[in-house]
């Protein structure tokens, strides 16, 4: 199948560009590595949303006040977003197995502490450490795949599986949270990570190859790491406050300004002063990476907020309960998985760029359809029909973007590229949600008025996906692909 080439040789000539695959040799061993990486990624993505349905139970059990309750969600999201770039680079410098095990241990241990927490402060602190573990773990899962599977059909299939699992984790969070909270206790939304994490830790050491000392002689870019963490964290926090405080709030304005200033300083430091940059500037000289991450930013601005507005539509317009809302997401989950698993075959016939164009256009049509839903549309027309179209496009879209932005990269920069892609998607989701909440803020009280408000948000998502189509046309084309 065709794979996108970088625009120049700067990536393949980078340190580690020999693509030395030190992964396990047998098909069974590589399948086990894939399963391990996917299990870790599933936990990371699941815990972004799994607490949402359980928030009322958590509030009653631990005595949270309304203002403090949001930090059960925000503590994870802010730390996760803030440390993604750093987490990606750690794997390059200190070894993928070492960093994977560290992230998995932090995530599992903090899940145990959070599940047993007896005070609001302890739960919020545990969620913050969970976010740190996730920021270290998420880039490592993708880096392990891109350094275990050589570029070509095998890697594309592995990335498609990773994408399908990520989609399933994001969509299943509300359902799993509802089932565990109603059948057992809210504590199990965190405690369930403990046996899974323990099994993954036990499997990681024999399965993952030993680490080379790639970081020897190189120091972590501490100024860059600090600026990136502060910048992304402050920007994400400021965006999260727009809905509750408004754009004119001093808190919102200060956080957004601090985020922009820190990220601007980060770009300057990385380009001019850092001897071993957190994000090597040479990565952006490849059009597949610079344009591909822009496309991922726009896609994240649609697909992450999608769950938020669909949940509101089901609960506030159709008056579904928490468990029924979770079940209502099943079509999105199943179709998204089928789309992700189908992506490698479609890419084999038409190439990555055309798949991005086709799938973005398909998702745009689905969002346009969803924007027309009313309280009287019914399940088939108001939810199931749009779900099939938008989720098929979403499932097809992420795999070729991920393959594009990780192609042609030397092993020494694989973690940085993975961290950049994860951070781009997360920032896109945060910015997109803030913008779309403002677009949907019509002050509606009735089901019909709320449906109109949410419809504007879905219409805006369709417009952003049209921009994804335009961005995809700027990616390297068929002449720059090489046959496999």
Provide the pLDDT for residue 6.
35
pLDDT in tens, 149-182: 777 777 788 878 887 777 777 667 777 877 888 7
3-state per-residue secondary structure call for 395-436: HHHHHHHHHHHCCCCCHHHHHHHHHHHHHHHHHHHHHHHHHH
| Distance (Å) of CA 29 to CA 91, 205, 273, 363, 415 | 21, 13, 42, 36, 22
pLDDT in tens, 88-112: 778 777 777 888 899 999 999 999 9
CA-to-CA distance for 459 and 305, rounded, in angstroms? Answer: 13
Tokens of 259: 């985020």
CATH number of 282-484: 1.20.1250.20
Question: 213 pLDDT band (50/70/90 cuts)?
Answer: low
358-371: average pLDDT: 94
pLDDT in tens, 259-277: 899 989 988 887 787 777 7
Surface-to-core class of residue 122, CB atoms within 10 Å of its CB (0-12 exposed, 13-18 middle, 19+ buried):
middle
Tokens of 111: 């899940």
Residue 400 and residue 342 in contact, taking contact as beta carbons nearer than 8 Å: no
349-354: average pLDDT: 85
CA-to-CA distance for 84 and 78, rounded, in angstroms? Answer: 10
Strand 3-4 vs strand 481-482: parallel, antiparallel, or unpaired?
A: antiparallel
Rounded to a whole number of angstroms, the CA Rg of the chain reads 21
Owner of token pair 């960093």: 99
Pick the CATH number of 22-211 from 1.10.1740.10, 1.10.3720.10, 1.20.1250.20, 3.40.47.10: 1.20.1250.20
From the list 450, 188, 174, 446, the residue with the least C-alpha distance to 322 is 174
**More confident of the two residues 280 and 394:** 394
Surface-to-core class of residue 443, CB atoms within 10 Å of its CB (0-12 exposed, 13-18 middle, 19+ buried):
exposed
Provide the pLDDT for residue 17.
39
pLDDT over 70, % of the chain: 86
Flag whether pLDDT at 125 surpasses 90: yes
Average pLDDT across the chain, whole number: 79
pLDDT in tens, 180-191: 887 888 899 899
């Amino acid at each position: 199948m065709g794979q996108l080439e970088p625009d120049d040789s700067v990536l393949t000539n980078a340190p580690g560009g020999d693509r030395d695959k030190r992964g396990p040799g047998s098909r069974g061993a590589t399948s086990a590595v894939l399963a391990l990486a996917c299990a870790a990624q599933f936990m990371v993505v699941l815990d972004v949303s799994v607490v949402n349905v359980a928030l009322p139970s958590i509030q009653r059990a631990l005595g949270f006040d309304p203002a403090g309750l949001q930090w059960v969600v925000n503590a994870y999201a802010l730390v996760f977003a803030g440390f993604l770039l750093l987490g990606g680079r750690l794997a390059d410098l200190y070894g993928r197995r070492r960093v994977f095990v560290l992230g998995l241990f932090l995530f599992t241990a903090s899940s145990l502490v959070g599940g047993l927490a007896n005070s609001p402060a302890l739960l919020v602190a545990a969620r913050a450490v969970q976010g740190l573990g996730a920021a270290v773990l998420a880039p490592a899962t993708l880096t392990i795949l891109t350094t275990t599977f050589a570029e070509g059909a095998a890697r594309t299939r592995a990335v498609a599986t990773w994408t399908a699992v990520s989609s399933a984790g994001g969509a299943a969070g509300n359902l799993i949270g509802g089932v565990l909270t109603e059948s057992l206790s809210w504590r199990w939304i965190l405690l369930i990570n403990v046996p899974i994490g323990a099994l993954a830790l036990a499997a990681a050491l024999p399965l993952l190859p030993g680490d080379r000392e790639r970081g020897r002689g190189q120091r972590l870019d501490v100024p860059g790491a600090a600026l990136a963490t502060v910048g992304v964290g402050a920007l994400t926090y400021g965006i999260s406050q727009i809905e509750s405080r408004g754009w004119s709030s001093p808190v919102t304005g200060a956080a957004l300004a601090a985020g922009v200033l820190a990220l601007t300083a980060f770009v300057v430091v990385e380009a001019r002063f850092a001897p071993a940059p957190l994000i090597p500037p040479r990565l952006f000289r490849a059009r597949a990476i610079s344009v591909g991450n822009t496309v991922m930013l726009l896609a994240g601005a649609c697909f992450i907020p999608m769950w938020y507005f669909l949940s509101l539509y089901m609960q506030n317009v159709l008056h579904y309960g928490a468990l029924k809302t979770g079940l209502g997401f099943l079509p999105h989950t199943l179709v998204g998985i089928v789309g992700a698993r189908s992506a490698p075959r479609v890419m084999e016939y038409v190439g990555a760029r055309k798949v991005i164009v086709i799938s973005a256009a398909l998702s745009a049509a689905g969002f346009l359809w969803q924007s027309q839903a009313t309280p009287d549309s019914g399940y088939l027309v108001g939810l199931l029909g749009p779900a099939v179209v938008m989720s098929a496009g979403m499932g097809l879209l992420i795999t070729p973007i991920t393959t594009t932005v990780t192609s042609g990269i030397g092993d020494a920069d694989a973690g940085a590229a993975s961290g950049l892609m994860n951070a781009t998607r997360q920032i896109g989701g945060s910015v997109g949600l803030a913008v779309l909440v403002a677009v949907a803020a019509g002050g509606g009280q009735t089901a019909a008025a709320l449906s109109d408000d949410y419809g504007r948000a879905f219409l805006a998502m369709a417009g952003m996906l049209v921009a994804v189509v335009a961005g995809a046309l700027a990616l390297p084309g068929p002449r720059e692909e090489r046959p496999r």
